[in-house]
Amino acid sequence: METKPDNNETFLADWLAGKISDDELRQIVPEADFEAYRELKRALHTYQVPNPDMEMNYSAIKSKMIAKNASKPTIFFSLFKYVAVAASLLLLVGLYHLFIFSNTTKTGIGSSSIISLSDNSTVTLNAGSEVSYPSLFYYNRSIKLEGEAFFEVEKGGKFTVKTKQGYVEVLGTKFNVNARPDFFEIICYEGKVNVCSNDKSVVLAIGDAIRFYENKSETWKENEEHPLWINGESSFRNAPMHHVIAQFRNQYDYEVEYPQALKQTRFTGSFTHKNLTTALKSVCIPMNLKYTKTDTGKIIISE
């Protein structure tokens, strides 16, 4: 009976070295892992150099050196050591380039994008947002986010969303992250998520929401099954007015001017992404505000 390798490192190394065939590897690992290993092998191939026959080279070089100068046998070993170090550095440089956040997706004004990741997770990116992630995402489930995105994460190893305001860690769940300057908001729609920001760590369960704003945290319960912006409507719960205006700008290609006195005023409500006039009324009427549209493409909000 054939003895299978004891761990992933052993059979992966043997397969990369050609000691295990593709068919043998398929019998050891799940199909999804096999495809991921194939991707790793293809990527590593770019950085590989031909493997020398070390035993043959060793014998040949050693014989010549002994014949030439029997009193200096250590030179070959020094050379071998430097070659090994150089090969290790080459491999490390290759792996570094393979695992950096080299894939980037951005969305413009009024647009969104759905990204399918190699582990079958999906990211829905809101307008005016950006994500980046490694090419070999299966082995490094980390994403950098600027803006807002809804994540549907397949179960597996740790999945991390990194932002300038903090990070979110999960294993498999659905959650929304909104990371803007001086504004960090996370809502959990399924499973659990661990949120870290400003040296504070909190675990969110289904329906839990937290916002970090002006060095403070605010929590509440969310009743929706998913963020409304996915269906074309931005919603807010006690959000500062300047954040509402910023979201409005991300959906409509208009410059918005409003009194600075309204910047910290809180707003609860929503606006549509499909009609400019309706959106303006949805924000201004509940706040007893007025608005005008200029010929130059500017919207002026006043009290």
Nearest Cα to Cα of residue 112 among 42, 155, 176? 176
User: What pLDDT score was predicted for residue 1?
Assistant: 41
User: What pLDDT score was predicted for residue 111?
Assistant: 95
Strands lying side by side in the sheet with 290-293: 255-257, 298-302, 290-293
Question: Domain 103-228 class?
Answer: mainly beta
pLDDT tens column, 14-70: 666 676 787 777 776 666 566 666 766 665 554 444 444 545 555 655 565 555 555
Domain boundaries along the sequence of the chain: 8-99, 103-228, 232-302
Span 232-302: which CATH code? Answer: 3.55.50.30
Q: Following DSSP, what letter does each residue of 87-141 receive, concatenated? A: HHHHHHHHHHHHHS--EEEE--TT--EEEE-TTS-EEEEPTT-EEEE-TTGGG--
| 103-228 and 232-302 agree in CATH topology | no
| Contact in structure between 146 and 179 (CB atoms under 8 Å) | yes
> Which tokens in the block code for residue 281?
């009324």
pLDDT tens column, 190-200: 999 999 998 88
pTM of the model: 0.69
User: What pLDDT score was predicted for residue 24?
Assistant: 76
Collapsing DSSP to helix, strand or coil, 176 comes out as: strand
User: What pLDDT score was predicted for residue 214?
Assistant: 87
d(CA 143, CA 104): 10
| Contact in structure between 281 and 293 (CB atoms under 8 Å) | no
Q: Which amino acid type is present at position 281?
A: K
Phi, psi of 287 (to 5 degrees): -95, 5
10-residue mean pLDDT series, the chain (303 residues): 44 66 73 66 52 53 57 52 53 55 91 94 96 88 95 92 94 93 94 91 95 92 93 95 94 91 93 95 94 88 91
Nearest Cα to Cα of residue 47 among 15, 13, 95? 95
